[in-house]
Amino acid sequence: MNIDVRGPRFGAAVTTVVLAAVLVTGSGALLGWQALVFAVGALAGAGRSPYGWLFRTVVRPRIGPPTEFESPEPPRFAQAVGLVFAVVGLAGYLWGPAWLALAATACALAAAFLNAAFGYCLGCEMYLLLRRTTGARR
């Protein structure tokens, strides 16, 4: 079943704010929260993540029915990519070096911002590229 394209984009906007706050505050706990959100999105799907729930229950009823849909697999893969960066960032915050935490968080922030601001999902594009290069069939 396809998903409303606005949901993952909303999640990316919230993620952008959270990751910017991580960089400003240096909060490993906040990055841990975001890693948990990425993990739920990767395992259960973006629509079942906390930000997906927020979109579905608070935002979507106020903005009307969707007019555009997408396959759930690319955003799910993007959540897994975000999880990898968040875990690397957490390792940097917990054990060092500090530059690793900042760099991994900044990379995840850049990807989230691209999706939120321009609708360009790097993780989704990686997924589609991998499917094309491995010859996977839909």
Contact between 52 and 3 under an 8 Å Cβ cutoff? The reply is no
Of residues 1, 81, 85, 13, the one with CA closest to residue 47 = 1
Angstrom distance (rounded) from CA 123 to CA 111: 8
Give the confidence band of 135 by pLDDT, cuts at 50, 70, 90: confident
Domain boundaries, the chain: 3-134
> Model confidence over 46-64: pLDDT tens digits?
989 999 999 999 999 999 9
Cα distance between residue 9 and residue 51, in whole Å: 10
What's the DSSP call for residue 48? G
Please tell me the distance from the alpha carbon of residue 11 to that of residue 18, in angstroms, as a whole number. 10
pTM across the whole model? 0.94
Q: pLDDT category, 136, cuts 50, 70, 90?
A: low
Band of pLDDT at residue 29, cut at 50, 70 and 90: very high
| Mean pLDDT of the 63-89 span | 96
- Give the percent of the chain with pLDDT over 70: 98
Residue 31 makes CB contacts below 8 A (sequence gap 6+) with 19, 22, 86, 89, 90, 93, 101, 105
